[in-house]
Amino acid sequence: MTEAIYMVDSYLKEFDSVVEKTDGTHITLKRSAFYPSSGGQPNDLGKLIKGNEVYAVINVFKDGNEIVHEVEKEGLNVGDKIHGIIDWERRHKLMRMHTAAHLFSAVIHKETGALIAGNQLNIELSRIDFNLEKFEKNRFYEYCKEANALILEKLPVKSHFIENMEKDEKLPTLLLKSLPENLERIRVVEIEGKDIQADGGTHVGNTEEIGEIELTKVENKGRNNRRIYYRLKP
């Protein structure tokens, strides 16, 4: 099982680890700060360094409890000590996008009761789908203004872990997931006073870092599915 250190510190840009498994260009480490594609958030990119050799990380994904790093060339072996470096510009943009998604969704849920039906984050443009019976397109632009006002309040964004047995009592407002019973620990991300969700992604530490949300498109996908597209200004 790979220790996912991004779950504890989203701001960690570099780390040291040991190769535990190799399969050609697919590398499993003892511990990793690389985020694997999951929950609508794309994977991190970056590099693994062994001595003078640099291995570009071109994909990261989960295989059970392991985080697999796909590198551009072979050469790493079990037991090798490596230094990992995250592509920070990409990571931070996705952190901003992810926290923006939580905040924007919280506003929409508060105003309409809508739950998230799907999402896909990206560097330049992200989307969120909502299960919402009544479709009032112009109202979404009002919700965006409300979310941007909350960003300016500089709200802290924190995460912590709780035991699975506590989930029903402590997490009544989860919007995204029905949690499986076999989870031993649940990671919770909270935007102070505005949103709390079970979440395994990377986030900024304060809403101020998000910048400004720009709503670019609102679509009626039918069958109570409403889709929004948004991007971020610095």
- The answer to whether 205 and 96 have CB atoms below 8 angstroms apart is no
State pTM to two decimals.
0.93
Name all domains of the chain by residue range, CATH numbers in brackets.
6-86 (2.40.30.130), 91-233 (3.30.980.10)
Instruction: Name the amino acid, one letter, at 147.
Output: A
- The answer to whether 36 and 61 have CB atoms below 8 angstroms apart is yes
* pLDDT score for 175: 43
* pLDDT score for 186: 84
Q: What is the pLDDT of residues 65-109, one digit of tens each?
A: 999 999 999 999 999 999 999 999 999 999 999 999 999 999 999
Ranges in the chain, pLDDT < 70: 164-183
* pLDDT score for 109: 93
* pLDDT score for 164: 62
* pLDDT score for 184: 72
* pLDDT score for 183: 65
* pLDDT score for 181: 59
Q: Chain-wide mean pLDDT for the chain?
A: 92
Q: Tokens 């969120």 — which residue?
A: 128
Axis crossing angle, helix 88-112 with helix 139-151, rounded to the nearest 10: 120
The CA-based dihedral angle spanning residues 18, 23, 28, 34, taken in that order and rounded to the nearest 10 degrees: 110
